[in-house]
Amino acid sequence: MSRFRNLTALRHFSTKQRTFKEIKIPVPWGHVAGKWWEPYDKRPILTLHGWQDSCGSFDRLVPLLKDDVGIVAIDLPGHGYSSRLPPGMFYNNMNYPIIIQHIANYLEWPKISLMGHSLGAISSFIYTIIFPENVDFLICIDGVKPLYMKNNGPRMALGIQELLKYDELGRSKEEPPSYPLEVIKKRMAALNTQSISIDHCHHILNRNIAPSKADPDKYYFTRDPRLKARFIYNWAQKDLLEGAYRVICPMLMIKFTESGYYEDKQNFYELLDALKKTSKDAQYHYVDGSHHTHLNNPESVKDLINNFLETYNIEDRKIGGIKSDIIC
């Protein structure tokens, strides 16, 4: 119990001397929580984490990035400290572009700078193909395009059944199963073929677990169980290629070598070819490491991102700083 408290007590400061403020941005079903890393008086880069992670995924990377532009790292709905979607609804990769627009509207951003990892990168890319004129640049870390699945009907059927099961579970009054903290860390570290170092998984866990009322030495996951249901929405490769031709902003794409494509990898390279023809600059780099290398070894990607920002962080950021009503 005390160990968990010690970790969360430091949530307003970084060990690398870059401060942040906890924020809550109102949305129609509740709020989107996150961390606004300084500076606070300028429009920041909106940053989205991966599936079942939290904004803590960027805790070790952000302090290494150029400090003349802020970073707003949010917890996606159902993750971390953000509100869950209403009962009966399902999570899909169209929820998150809508979230981006909610946030941009509330904070009155004239342009949007986006950075994401995995699902967060995919969501940022989808937003960009929908609103290409809104985005001044896009950084995608180990994820870009939504997956295209052939013969997706049986998979969608399973997803709907999973959704109904987890939706009922999420409405239960009973506390979820709880485990010792070390067990939870080992379970998280084992995901995605040992993707997250056990030494760093607490950055994600801090916002996704709570102490058990029955046994204070154990913890349970607080994220929405509906997130376990597989996505039932499918993008056609043809539509994604058409969308890629709408992307005009500069893009930085980072691919970790030990992470898979989760579909026919040729689909991605077709998309990349399209992006190179339309984007002002579509950079693509391979970096050694697993799917969470930006957390495990942020030093390996910081120069790529900082060099990109040095070139493309050129839009006016005077409008869109932090609002007092969102500070926790």
Per the CB < 8 A criterion, the answer to whether 79 and 73 are in contact is no
pLDDT attached to residue 18:
93
pLDDT band at residue 92 using 50, 70 and 90 as cut-offs: confident
Output the pLDDT for position 152.
Answer: 83
Strand-pairing partners, residue 328, are none
231-250: average pLDDT: 92
Mean pLDDT of 308-314: 98
Within 13 A of 3's CA, how many CA atoms are on the CB side?
10
**DSSP per-residue string spanning 45-108:** EEEE--TT--GGGGTTTGGGS-TTS-EEEEPPTTSTTSPPPPTT----TTHHHHHHHHHHHHHT
Q: Where residue 7 falls among pLDDT bands split at 50, 70, 90?
A: very low
Has domain 15-151+236-326 been given CATH number 3.40.50.1820? Answer: yes
pLDDT tens track for 46-75? 999 999 999 999 999 999 999 999 999 999
Q: Would you list the domain boundaries of the chain?
A: 15-151+236-326
Question: Dihedral angle at the C-alpha atoms of 66, 70, 71, 74, nearest 10 degrees?
Answer: 170
Please, which pLDDT band fits residue 3 given cuts at 50, 70 and 90?
A: very low
Residues 158-168 pLDDT 10s: 999 999 999 99
Mean pLDDT of 206-212: 96
Give the Cα separation of 247 and 166 in Å (integer).
Answer: 36
Instruction: Kindly state the average pLDDT of the residues 310-321.
Output: 97
Q: Give the rounded distance of the alpha carbon of 57 from its chain centre.
A: 8
Strands of 209-211's sheet in order across: 179-180, 218-221, 209-211
Structure confidence at residue 16 (pLDDT):
56
Confidence of residue 11 (pLDDT cuts 50, 70, 90): very low
Active site residues: 118
Query: Which pTM does this prediction carry?
Result: 0.93
Q: CB within 8 A of 244, min separation 6: which ones?
A: 129, 271, 274, 275, 278
Question: Distance between the two ends of the chain, CA-based, in angstroms?
Answer: 23
- Between 25 and 156, name the one with better pLDDT: 25
pLDDT exceeds 70 at position 14: no
What mean pLDDT is reported for the chain?
Answer: 92
Residue 194 clears pLDDT 90, i.e. is over it? no
Kindly give the interhelix angle for 119-130 and 237-244, rounded to the nearest 10 degrees.
70
Residues 69/39, Cβ–Cβ less than 8 Å: yes
